[in-house]
């Protein structure tokens, strides 16, 4: 009788414990440099909430915006090392480290963030570059056309940009050099003070940043150099061990969310470009358009950046021409 009671008691305990174990939550941390007021950060926080919702609470993500967990340039390594479980930053802050994905950042003449986002994810899916093997990639997105903005000197010709110090990173820095300016590699979070204090004369950045980072308060001129407009690829990656610790249902739910959120980020970039342009104008800024002839000069001046990419990629054992041509054809 005692043995039967012991067995029944053990079964009762298991009946209570097993469901609790099955529902035990996994807590993750998510780091980004975007301030909490920025729509991109707000979308990231919504992603966290959606993950908890669609995994029925099995995965809970604590969100850390504004570089409170890792700085922008250290975000990727922070994920690899486990400082954060998930990271959202841009590949350009680790110049030379992501040679395949760097092709997307080239000055290929982007017109929308939707184009940039589709291109970035297509390039990753097609080439599955080993450079990202130390994390689990969630998704990529890219901002709308990156253009030139200056503090006090209007730029309408290549001659106007010569000698100007322009805040830029990654391939946009190479573009600045090709156009005759002097690139200054600093993160976006430092940009306002650099411009305000005159450390730099201008900045290469997406139109939306004039409002989201208040750069339209210090930049008084914008140059519509769309023919050589670049994008910046933003990554959302997860620590590989953390990803592998999730059950298959949670992984499937997160993959579906990732597809939806890449499009949401692109839509946000594009809508914010409209607001960013208006913000610049509202502060008394002016938008300058290049003539067709001048625009063609900028394209010719920027061509060595594309050629240089192919050469550098080849030196790393990649097929630079194939990567560039795939990227260009996907964009078109």
Average of per-residue pLDDT values in the chain: 92
| Long-range contacts, 72-77 (Cβ 8 Å, 24+) | 72/33, 72/187, 72/188, 72/189, 73/187, 75/31, 75/32, 75/33, 76/135, 76/235, 76/237
Name, in order, each residue with C-beta under 8 angstroms of 83's C-beta and a sequence gap of 6 or more: 31, 69, 70, 74, 77
Cα–Cα dist 66/88, whole Å: 11
Q: How many helices (H) and strands (E) does the chain have?
A: 12, 11
pLDDT digits (tens, 9 = 90+) for 291-308: 999 999 999 999 999 999
pLDDT digits (tens, 9 = 90+) for 256-281: 999 999 999 999 999 999 999 999 99
Cα–Cα dist 312/149, whole Å: 28
Per this entry, what is the length of the chain? 332
pLDDT digits (tens, 9 = 90+) for 238-252: 999 999 999 999 999
Report yes or no: 131 and 99 within 8 Å, Cβ to Cβ. Answer: yes
How sure is the predictor about 92, in pLDDT bands with cuts at 50, 70 and 90? confident
Strand order in the sheet with 135-142: 59-64, 26-32, 86-90, 233-239, 135-142
Domains (range + CATH), the chain: 25-142+231-273 (3.40.190.170), 146-230+284-331 (3.40.190.170)
Q: What phi and psi values does residue 172 have, to the nearest 5 degrees?
A: -65, -30
Buried b (16+ CB within 10 A) or exposed e, 145-165: bbbbbbbeeebebbebbeebb
Report yes or no: 314 and 320 within 8 Å, Cβ to Cβ. Answer: yes
Name, in order, each residue with C-beta under 8 angstroms of 105's C-beta and a sequence gap of 6 or more: 91, 92, 170, 171, 172, 230, 231, 232, 233
Q: What tokens were used for 34?
A: 């975007």
**Would you state the pLDDT for residue 23?**
52
| Position 318 pLDDT exceeds 50 | yes
Report yes or no: 148 and 161 within 8 Å, Cβ to Cβ. Answer: yes
Rounded percentage of the chain residues whose pLDDT exceeds 90? 86
Rounded percentage of the chain residues whose pLDDT exceeds 70? 93
How sure is the predictor about 20, in pLDDT bands with cuts at 50, 70 and 90? very low
pLDDT digits (tens, 9 = 90+) for 94-118: 878 999 999 999 999 999 999 999 9
Cα–Cα dist 323/103, whole Å: 7
For the chain, where are the E strands, in sequence order? Answer: 26-32, 59-64, 86-90, 135-142, 146-150, 165-167, 182-184, 202-206, 221-224, 233-239, 286-289
| 3-state percent helix, strand, coil for the chain, nearest multiple of 5 | 55, 15, 25
- Exposed / middle / buried, residue 178 (Cβ in 10 Å: 0-12, 13-18, 19+): buried
pLDDT digits (tens, 9 = 90+) for 202-251: 999 999 999 989 999 999 999 999 999 999 999 999 999 999 999 999 99
Bigger pLDDT: 110 vs 188: 110
Report CA 248 to chain centroid distance, whole Å: 27
**Would you state the pLDDT for residue 24?**
62
Q: What phi and psi values does residue 239 have, to the nearest 5 degrees?
A: -55, 130
Residue 220 three-state SS = coil
Q: What phi and psi values does residue 193 have, to the nearest 5 degrees?
A: -65, -35
Cα–Cα dist 273/265, whole Å: 12
């Amino acid at each position: 009788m005692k043995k039967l009671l012991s067995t029944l008691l053990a079964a009762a305990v298991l009946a209570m414990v097993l469901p609790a174990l099955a529902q035990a939550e996994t807590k993750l941390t998510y780091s980004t440099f975007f301030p909490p007021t920025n729509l991109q950060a707000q979308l990231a926080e919504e992603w966290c909430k959606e993950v908890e919702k669609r995994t029925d609470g099995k995965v809970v993500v604590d969100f850390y915006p504004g570089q409170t967990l890792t700085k922008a340039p250290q975000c990727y390594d922070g994920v690899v090392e486990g400082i954060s479980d998930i990271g959202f930053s841009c590949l350009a802050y680790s110049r030379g480290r992501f040679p395949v994905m760097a092709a997307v950042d080239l000055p290929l003449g982007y017109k929308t963030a939707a184009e940039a986002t589709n291109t970035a994810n297509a390039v990753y899916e097609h080439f599955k570059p080993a450079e990202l093997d130390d994390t689990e990639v969630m998704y990529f997105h890219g901002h709308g056309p990156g253009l030139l903005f200056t503090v006090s000197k209007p730029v309408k010709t290549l001659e106007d940009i010569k000698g100007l110090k322009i805040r830029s990173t990654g391939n946009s820095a190479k573009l600045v050099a090709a156009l005759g300016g002097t690139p200054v590699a600093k993160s976006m979070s430092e940009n306002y003070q650099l411009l305000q204090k005159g450390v730099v004369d201008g900045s290469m950045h997406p139109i939306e940043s004039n409002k989201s980072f208040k750069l339209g308060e210090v930049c008084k001129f914008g140059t519509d150099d769309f023919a050589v407009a670049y994008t910046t690829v933003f990554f959302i990656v997860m620590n590989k061990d953390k990803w592998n610790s999730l059950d298959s249902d949670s992984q499937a739910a997160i993959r579906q969310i990732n597809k939806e959120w890449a499009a949401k980020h692109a839509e946000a970039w594009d809508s914010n470009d409209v607001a960013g342009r208006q913000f610049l104008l509202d502060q008394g800024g002016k938008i300058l358009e290049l003539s067709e002839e001048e625009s063609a000069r900028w394209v010719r001046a920027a061509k060595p950046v594309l050629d240089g990419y192919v050469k550098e990629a080849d030196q790393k054992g990649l097929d630079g021409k194939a990567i560039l041509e795939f990227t260009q054809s996907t964009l078109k």
